[in-house]
Structure formats: structure tokens, C-alpha cells
Structure 1
């Protein structure tokens, strides 16, 4: 084989490598801009942040910003969706081993509230309802669980897209309330889970069962009793709020 024939495969390999490197650089810059936006919006201030604040934090030019995003709102939507998708991925080891729809719905709804209690920065972004579009992972899993529950004869609702939107909107508002501060926050989360299940057709007994199960399951997970992975944000279970959640004991409702 001649030298030129030997060099050809190496040349092709080098050419094939360039698009991958370009894509890697593109993803790194996008992440850099999103991280900068999160830091900027996490800082308290009297005026809303603007694009100049983000590019200053990211140490990039305005032209670089506009190569990736058209506006600051687009940045926030992308950031919120990334955070929501990451949250869903984080909890899959905990959530996806559950089989019954009522368990999945109750645990899935409560775990977002628990993270809001532990991670204020995250909660501040996901309270924007527009960052949870229908193609976000949380919407896909929620719609699937609702359809499974209806197929099993447990649930009663007219349209799964309407039910999904209702639950996602309720979740965002509950997260916002927790972020702003609410009296007896663990009792508030119990009530939110109960209302979420009732809204899609579970009867009172099933709602109480879901409230109790989701609380005990997440406490067992948070305390390490369940041998399941925990994401980085769950380290905040050592905080005052986290310890209060783990120690919380729900009073059984009268007639339960």
C-alpha cells in the first residue's frame, strides 16, 4: 500500500472528527450562557436582568449570545426546560420502579414539591409555567401515567392533554407557594398531593392512600433506608427544611 493510500483513511478520520468537535464547542457555549443566566437571575436585585447582564457574566460578546438565542425570554425557556428534564432524569431510579399509576402520580407530584423545599434556585426557575412545554419529559411521563390509570379504570378525565396541563400548572403554583413561604409546609404538600389526585378522578380513600404512600416513600429514600441513587440536590436533606421533612409525621385524617 502506498503512502498516499495510507494517508487517505487518516484524512477522512480527521474530517469526520471536525463536526463532532464543533458540536461539542456549541454545546459548551450554550451551557455557559445558560449557567450565566441562572447565576444572574439568582442574584437579588431591584431591576430585572437584561441581556447585557448575561453576556457580562458569561464573558462573551453580544454577537455570541445572538448566535444561540434570540432573546432573554428564549434563554429562560431553554434553561427552565433543561432543569425540568434534568429533574425528571434525576428521579427516574426512584420513580420508574413503581408500577401502579396511583403510586407514580402521587410520588411524581410530591417529589417536585420536596425539591422546591430544598432547592430555592431551581424552584425560582420552574415556577414559570412556560418552561414546561408539552415535549418536556415531565409532561411525557405524566401523560403516560394518566393514560395508564384511565386504562386500569382508576381515573376519570376527558382529555389527557388537559389533565396534564392542569397538573403541571398546579405543580408550578404549588412550587411557587413553597418558594414564597407557607405555614406548615409539610401539611401543605400533603394537601397538594391530595388535590392533584382528586383532580384526575381518584376517590377520597385513594387520595389519602397516595398522600401517605408518597410521604413515607420519599422519607425512606431521603433517609437512605431505600438503597436508591440520590441526585446532588438531595444533599440538601441535611438542611433544616430537609430534616423537618424527614421527621414529619402526618396525622391520619378523621375517618381514614
Structure 2
């Protein structure tokens, strides 16, 4: 019994060390990608900044493209956590989707570097089983079940939200946006309006959803 417990403890410690090393590599890559772009960053530079041997890199990633996907996935999961916090206590799936998309746009102002990396690197919309889409897909399925949204399929709804949200983030990165974005107003409200219409939400209900005040500046994405 004691032997199994000791083995489990050793295994857990090894898992933590691997997770920590992977985190160090991803953080180093993110800093370099943000500073000089993915194409201009070499694996040598990543391991130098991380302070590890080059062979260590290949214990976790096969190439630069794979760690670039890991960087974007990490940012997406961070954003998903912020959306989950924002929507705590919100029962209406249509409202949750609209709030989530507007938060993504607010993040273009809160942290443009991370948002830029997410918008350029993350490939999220091609399938229902793609990692990072679980929360959104849950809201879509809940909306269909509650007859709050009306779409031909879950996949179409997912592509609409991810596609429109990604383009909106890129637009805000390339153009000057005012503080109204942090309240979900202006361009953010317009995008949410078009999105909810595309999901089949009635016009009067859209107005009710978007009339509810939101302060996205209080949601952490640093």
C-alpha cells in the first residue's frame, strides 16, 4: 500500500514538472512571437529565453508550428475562463454568447498583444470537437434546447460565432477603438446584434439582451 502511494506521489511530481517545463517553453515562445512574430522566431531563441537545452524543446513540441498552436490555445483557454466568470449566474444562452463575443472584443483593448496572437494563430472553427470550443458549443446546444436560438446546425452556429468574433477582434486590432468597447457598446454592440440575428434571436429580444449593462473592464485578461 505504502509502495503504491509513493509511486503515485512520484508520478504526480513528474507530471507537475512536465507541466511546469511546458509552461516555461510556451511563455518564452509567446514573448518572442509578440515581439518579433512567429516566422522570425527560431527554436534556438525560444530555448535560450526559456533557459533550457534544445533537446528539451523536442520532448514537448515537434516544431515551431506546434508551439505556436500551444501559445494560441493557452490564450484561448484564458479567455474562456474570463467568459465563464463574466457569465456566472446568466441563464439565457443567447445572452451568454453575446456577452462572450463582446468580451473577446474588449480584450483587443485590454491586451492587444495576446489578442493579436490569438487572432492570427488560433485555428478553432473547423470542427465541433476542436479544443477550446467546449464552452461556446455548450451555450449553442443549450440555446437550441431552450429554443432561444434557431440555426440549421450546431456546426453552422459555431462557425458563425467564431468567424465573426475573430474578424471583429482583428478589426479592433487594426483600428482605433474607443472606451465604449469596454462597455460592450459601439462596434461591439453592432457585432453582437448581427450575431444574434444570425442565430435567429428575435429583434425585441436582442434589444433586451444588449440593453443590460456590462462592464468588461473588470474582467481580468492581462
Q: What is the rounded CA distance, in whole Å, between the counterparts of 2:135 and 2:204 in structure 1?
A: 24
Tell me if 1:40 matches 2:29: no
Q: What is the rounded CA distance, in whole Å, between the counterparts of 1:46 and 1:149 in structure 2?
A: 38
Q: What is the rounded CA distance, in whole Å, between the counterparts of 2:38 and 2:81 in structure 1?
A: 35
* Alignment check: 8 A CA contact 1:80 1:132 kept: no
> Cα 1:231–1:99, aligned 2, differ >3 Å: closer, same or farther?
same
In the other structure, the counterpart of 1:248 is none
| CA deviation map 1:102-144 (0-9, x unaligned) | 221211111111112111121012103644364434x222222
In the other structure, the counterpart of 2:220 is 231
User: Cα distance, 1:197 vs. partner?
Assistant: 0.9
> Cα 1:122–1:104, aligned 2, differ >3 Å: closer, same or farther?
same
* Alignment check: 8 A CA contact 2:90 2:96 kept: yes
Q: What is the rounded CA distance, in whole Å, between the counterparts of 1:55 and 1:124 in structure 2?
A: 23
TM-score scaled by length of structure 2:
0.84
> Cα 1:31–1:122, aligned 2, differ >3 Å: closer, same or farther?
same
In the other structure, the counterpart of 1:162 is 156
Equivalent of 1:150 in 123, 144, 147: 144
User: Cα distance, 1:157 vs. partner?
Assistant: 0.9
* Alignment check: 8 A CA contact 2:61 2:67 kept: yes
* Alignment check: 8 A CA contact 1:85 1:136 kept: no
In the other structure, the counterpart of 1:239 is none
| CA deviation map 1:215-254 (0-9, x unaligned) | x1236x73xxxxxxx4363xxxxxxxxxxxxxxxxxxxxx
User: Cα distance, 1:100 vs. partner?
Assistant: 1.3
For residues 1-256 of structure 1, the aligned pairs below 5 Å read 9=2, 13-44=5-36, 48-128=40-120, 130-132=122-124, 134-137=129-132, 139-182=133-176, 186=181, 187-213=186-212, 216-218=213-215, 222=218, 230-231=219-220, 233=222
User: Cα distance, 1:149 vs. partner?
Assistant: 2.1
> Cα 1:81–1:131, aligned 2, differ >3 Å: closer, same or farther?
farther
> Cα 1:148–1:212, aligned 2, differ >3 Å: closer, same or farther?
same
| CA deviation map 1:77-104 (0-9, x unaligned) | 1121122112212332321310012221
RMSD: 2.5
* Alignment check: 8 A CA contact 1:116 1:123 kept: yes
Report which of the two structures shows the higher radius of gyration computed on alpha carbons. Answer: 1
* Alignment check: 8 A CA contact 1:157 1:200 kept: yes
Q: What is the total number of aligned residue pairs between the two structures?
A: 214
* Alignment check: 8 A CA contact 2:79 2:221 kept: no
Q: What is the rounded CA distance, in whole Å, between the counterparts of 1:171 and 1:232 in structure 2?
A: 17
Q: Aligned to 2:201, what secondary structure does the other structure show? A: coil
TM-score scaled by length of structure 1:
0.74
Give ranges in structure 1 of 5+ residues lacking alignment.
1-7, 223-229, 234-256
